[in-house]
């Protein structure tokens, strides 16, 4: 995949992604994490203005996001879900790299002092000396690697300040004008609070096993409709990690779970 046509004038959402990057992170992926010594051994998944993004930068972000889905009971072996997550995370890496590339065009007079201050901030948080060495080892980096990552963060922050995105000062009148002009764009994503009971069956299971799982699910449903305690039944019978908390999935935004889940969950009446 090659991204040559996108410029430094990015949509706000992409810029905010970069602004919220991890302190020890960089626009290139996990900061300081050394890849294979030979660049040719790394698989390139995108090229942004001649600069590569590697598979070993993308994959950890994909797996982390899939782990979030798993906590809500989603099947992370679903090929379509994995592909959607992969596409979204790759776009985020591309956007972040575009912002970083644009930020490098600016000269920052006191950049070394700003990096020093960020190192001091980390030392105050995690401890200096041996504690800082432990912090660096946990992140598989060195002080030089950390400083390079912090330099990238400083450059991005300064660029975002220049663009009025980072900590912008917006007059109340301008905020009202923007809202009145397009109130729909400020609407929040529909969210529900849901609980579930998962009856698991292997995708390769035979018809008899699947039928037994269906019968179990129908039996549990009858118990609940007859007045059974949903949470108690979930704790005893659900095959999901959420069983310990009574099947509670927490607050779920539309589009976070697979489409089939959303279709059913968002059509239910409260307490149904």
pLDDT in tens, 32-44: 333 333 445 789 9
Q: What pLDDT is recorded for position 25? A: 43
- The string of DSSP letters for 217-250 reads HHHHHHHHHTT--HHHHHHHH--SGGGGGTTEEE
Nearest Cα residue to 165 out of 118, 109, 103, 113: 103
Query: What is the pLDDT confidence band of residue 111, given thresholds at 50, 70 and 90?
Result: very high
Query: What is the pLDDT confidence band of residue 180, given thresholds at 50, 70 and 90?
Result: confident
Residue range 204-258, pLDDT digits in tens? 888 889 999 999 999 999 999 999 999 999 999 999 889 999 999 888 888 888 8
Gap between the Cα atoms of 262 and 272, Å rounded: 15
Question: How does the average pLDDT of the chain come out, rounded?
Answer: 82
Q: What pLDDT is recorded for position 40? A: 54
Residue 69 and residue 57 in contact, taking contact as beta carbons nearer than 8 Å: no
Rg, the chain, Cα only: 24
Whether pLDDT at 177 is above 90: no
Q: What pLDDT is recorded for position 9? A: 33
Gap between the Cα atoms of 266 and 191, Å rounded: 9
Rounded average pLDDT over 142-160: 93
Q: What pLDDT is recorded for position 35? A: 38
Q: What pLDDT is recorded for position 172? A: 86
Q: What pLDDT is recorded for position 147? A: 95
Q: What pLDDT is recorded for position 6? A: 38
Q: What pLDDT is recorded for position 272? A: 63
Query: What is the pLDDT confidence band of residue 77, given thresholds at 50, 70 and 90?
Result: confident
Whether pLDDT at 30 is above 60: no
């Amino acid at each position: 995949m090659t991204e040559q046509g996108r410029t430094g004038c990015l949509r706000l959402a992409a810029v905010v992604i970069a602004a919220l990057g991890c302190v020890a992170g960089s626009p290139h992926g996990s900061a300081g994490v050394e890849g294979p010594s030979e660049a040719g051994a790394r698989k390139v998944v995108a090229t942004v203005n001649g600069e590569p993004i590697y598979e070993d930068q993308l994959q950890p972000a994909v797996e982390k996001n899939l782990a979030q889905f798993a906590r809500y009971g989603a099947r992370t072996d679903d090929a379509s879900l994995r592909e959607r997550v992969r596409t979204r995370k790759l776009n985020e890496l591309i956007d972040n790299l575009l912002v970083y590339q644009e930020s490098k065009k600016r000269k920052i007079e006191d950049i070394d002092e700003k990096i020093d201050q960020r190192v001091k901030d980390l030392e105050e948080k995690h401890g200096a000396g041996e504690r800082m060495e432990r912090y660096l080892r946990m992140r598989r980096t060195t002080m030089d690697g950390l400083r390079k990552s912090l330099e990238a963060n400083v450059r991005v922050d300064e660029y975002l300040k220049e663009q009025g995105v980072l900590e912008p000062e917006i007059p109340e009148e301008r905020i009202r004008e923007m809202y009145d002009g397009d109130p729909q764009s400020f609407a929040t994503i529909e969210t529900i609070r849901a609980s579930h009971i998962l009856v698991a069956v292997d995708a390769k299971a035979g018809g008899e096993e699947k039928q037994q799982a269906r019968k179990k699910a129908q039996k549990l449903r009858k118990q609940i409709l007859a007045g059974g305690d949903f949470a108690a039944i979930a704790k005893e019978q659900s095959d999901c990690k959420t069983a310990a908390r009574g099947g509670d999935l927490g607050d779920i935004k539309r589009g976070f779970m697979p489409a089939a889940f959303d279709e059913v969950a968002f059509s239910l009446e409260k307490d149904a």
